[in-house]
């Protein structure tokens, strides 16, 4: 099995590549991005800020469809940058560079009508594997109805992050009969409308106050608990390029990783990076 090659590109390399951007003052370049639905709200904010303040001659088209979609599209040359919510794996096409831009964490969520305060590793696994099928079997729930398991499709990087910390690293442990949603927004809406449901979301979509965030092994999913190292389900969002980032793509990624303006946006719903190194895989 081919393992991701451990090639690390420091932030300075990204900044240096920014000089490769065309110098024409009146030219407009459009960068196409797509991929992670969890990263989509963040990329909307970052691209809007970059267009308005940092570089008036760069325009963005930002789509979504799942991390695997973004990785495939950038490998095929369909887009300039893919958005991913999980690091590279041996199954990714060769020659891609993953540049971290922000951190996020994953919460298990239930409907507010079922305000469970905590679930253990064993309980989460039993529910999502469908070994426990009724809320009456779950400590802390006052319901006696069938559990509706909500998940993401296989293209979602957030599913990988959820499985890595909640399901022994195996996405295959999610019950095949679970409702699978193509985006975080759709899963969120479903849990909001179904008192019997349980799912998982990245923190930005989980903290809307319309859902019940469930603590994991007695530790709540909060920024403070991520920063002090007690909450486990943490991962990076990545901007993915085919080969090392160049030109306007490099300029944009370097701006996200180094500017105060980008950091301020990231801190509105996500967490700043602990490392700016890129991984090639």
162-184 tens-digit pLDDT = 999 999 888 888 999 999 999 99
Name the residue among 74, 259, 112 with its Cα closest to residue 194. 112
Q: Please give the C-alpha separations between residue 183 and each of 64, 180, 188, in angstroms, as whole numbers.
A: 8, 9, 9
Percent of residues, the chain, with pLDDT higher than 70: 89
12-48 tens-digit pLDDT = 344 444 444 444 445 689 999 999 999 999 999 999 9
Return the exposure string of 81-91: e unless at least 16 CB atoms fall within 10 Å of the residue's CB, then b.
bbbbbbbbeee
Contact present, 114 and 194 (Cβ < 8 Å): no
83-118 tens-digit pLDDT = 999 999 888 899 999 999 999 999 999 999 999 999
pTM of the model: 0.86
- Burial class for 26, CB neighbours closer than 10 Å (0-12, 13-18, 19+): exposed
Which domains occur in the chain, in start order?
A: 7-20+28-104+235-280 (3.40.190.10), 105-227 (3.40.190.10)
Name the residue among 122, 206, 205 with its Cα closest to residue 166. 122
């Amino acid at each position: 099995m081919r393992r991701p090659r451990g090639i690390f590109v420091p932030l300075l390399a990204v900044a240096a590549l920014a000089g490769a951007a065309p110098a024409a003052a009146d030219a407009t370049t459009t960068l196409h991005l797509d991929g992670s639905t969890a990263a989509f709200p963040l990329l909307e904010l970052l691209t809007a800020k970059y267009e308005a303040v940092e570089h008036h001659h760069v325009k963005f088209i930002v789509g979504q469809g799942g991390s695997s979609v973004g990785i495939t599209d950038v490998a095929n040359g369909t887009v300039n940058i893919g958005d991913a919510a999980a690091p590279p794996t041996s199954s990714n096409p060769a020659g891609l560079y993953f540049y971290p831009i922000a951190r996020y964490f994953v919460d298990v969520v239930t409907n507010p009508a079922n305000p469970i305060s905590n679930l253990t590793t064993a309980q989460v696994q039993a529910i999502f594997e469908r070994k426990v099928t009724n809320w009456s079997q779950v400590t802390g729930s006052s319901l006696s109805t069938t559990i509706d398991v909500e998940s993401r499709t296989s293209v979602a990087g957030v599913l990988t992050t959820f499985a890595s910390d909640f399901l022994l690293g195996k996405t295959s442990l999610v019950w095949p009969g679970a409702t699978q949603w193509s985006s975080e927004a759709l899963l969120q809406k479903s849990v909001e409308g179904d008192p019997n449901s349980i799912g998982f979301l990245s923190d930005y979509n989980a903290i809307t106050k319309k859902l019940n965030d469930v603590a994991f092994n007695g530790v709540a999913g909060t920024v403070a608990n991520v920063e002090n190292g007690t909450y486990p389900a943490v991962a990076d969002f990545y901007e993915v390029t085919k080969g090392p980032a160049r030109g306007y793509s490099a300029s944009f990624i370097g701006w996200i990783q180094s500017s105060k303006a980008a950091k301020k946006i990231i801190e509105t719903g996500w967490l700043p990076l602990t490392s700016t190194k890129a991984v090639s895989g």
